[in-house]
Amino acid sequence: MRQFWADALAEDLSQGDLLHDAWIGTAGTPRVGLRRGATAKGGKQTWDEGEWLPQADGIGYFLGRGRSAFGIVLSHDCEIDKPGGKQPVLVAPVFPLAVIQAPAIQEMVRQGQRFAFLPLPAIPGVLPESYADFRSICYLPRVGVDESERKQSVGEVGKNAITTRLIAFFTRVQMDDVAAQKRGA
């Protein structure tokens, strides 16, 4: 069986890239708005809790919740590989399979029986056998992606696995039926 992971890191940010130390999360609950507070000693910015108060462009700050984790890039290459790009990058968090306690569920994920989970082979010295959790896909600003470390890229097998699983997870469409339609057209 051919490799899921590529032998070398892709030159540019690509779909399937494994990010290390990616800040993955979303707004915390209950919702807490943040406003810039006074500048503390040493030039440190402080933040005050308060009502949601966006700036003129409609963007503001709020309290987030998440974790620093491995993440796998889901955005398509051509959306994100432009030099100096500022496009947001869709990322799914990646967790070790070992965090799943029940052996039956662990096996279910390993076999790829649930569309929401993409099983990922281990990368020696980098990543234990893991899974990407599509239930918690989020976007990261490009700067945030660049601040994390790209550890590995996927090969053709990995890319196809991501594509087929995304289709199944988001659409529940029998793509072989669609392909049959195409052939019959």
Partner 1 sequence: MHGFESYIPSRWLDGILSIHVSTPSVSKGKVVVRTGLWASKRVMAAAVAAGAICAAVAIVEPASIADPRQHFHDLVDVSKQGEYAPAGYFERLTAAVSLARRLPAQAIDRDPPVLV
Cα separation of 147 and 144, whole Å?
5
Binding mask 85-124 for partner 1 (x = CB under 8 A): --------x-x---xx-x-xx--xx----xxxx-------
CB of 68 to partner 1, least distance (A): 11
What's at 75, amino acid-wise? S
CB of 124 to partner 1, least distance (A): 24
User: Residue 123 or 138: which CB sits closer to partner 1?
Assistant: 138
Give, as ranges, the residues between 120 and 179 that touch partner 1 (CB under 8 A).
133, 135-136, 138, 168, 171-175, 177-178
Q: Are 152 and 158 in contact (CB under 8 A)?
A: no
Asked if 26 touches partner 1 (CB under 8 A), the answer is: yes
Asked if 86 contacts 18 with a C-beta cutoff of 8 angstroms, the reply is: no
CB 165 within 8 A of CB 16: no
61 vs 115 by CB, closer to partner 1: 115
- Cβ atoms of 149 and 22 within 8 Å: the answer is no
